[in-house]
């Protein structure tokens, strides 16, 4: 009779241990899933976005480098670009494409410049749309 009670107690402990092991594995899978969606997936999306941006780089685009310099692309090769910095047109530096942090397309820059000119023209108008007289 005692052996029957011990055998049933061991069976219950083994069943509880198996359930505990299953619960622990389930929590590990859930933890990995959460880490994937919070850390790995956004990083992959950002990398795809950067790869698409670098593949669309063209001559004449204004770029921001990872070191914080703004320049204009004057030549493209496979993995390198030649960027012109400054106004004197003599500072041309070859650099890796991966060192480009942001790209402003030539067309976008022209549209932004015209928008700024239009904004300045509207600033000259006074109350009720009348033009202000320039005080000279």
pLDDT in tens, 107-116: 766 666 676 6
**Token representation of residue 126:** 């006074």
For the entire predicted model, the pTM comes to 0.56
Instruction: Count, in order, helices (H) and strands (E) of the chain.
Output: 3, 5
pLDDT in tens, 12-46: 445 556 788 889 999 999 999 999 989 999 999 99
Alpha helices in the chain (DSSP H): 2-35, 41-55, 106-123
| d(C-alpha 76, C-alpha 108), whole Å | 20
Distances (CA, A) of 50 to 11, 12, 60, 93: 57, 56, 19, 22
């Amino acid at each position: 009779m005692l052996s029957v009670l011990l055998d049933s107690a061991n069976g219950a402990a083994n069943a509880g241990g198996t359930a505990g092991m299953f619960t622990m594995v389930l929590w590990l899978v859930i933890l990995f899933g959460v880490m994937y969606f919070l850390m790995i997936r956004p990083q992959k999306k950002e990398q795809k976005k950067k790869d698409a941006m670098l593949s669309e780089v063209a001559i004449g685009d204004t770029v921001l480098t990872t070191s914080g310099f703004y320049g204009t692309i004057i030549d493209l090769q496979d993995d390198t670009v030649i960027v012109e910095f400054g106004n004197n047109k003599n500072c041309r530096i070859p650099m890796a494409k991966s060192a480009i942090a942001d790209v402003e397309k030539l067309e976008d820059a022209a549209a932004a410049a015209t928008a700024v000119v239009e904004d300045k023209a509207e600033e000259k108008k006074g109350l009720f749309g009348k033009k202000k007289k320039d005080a000279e």
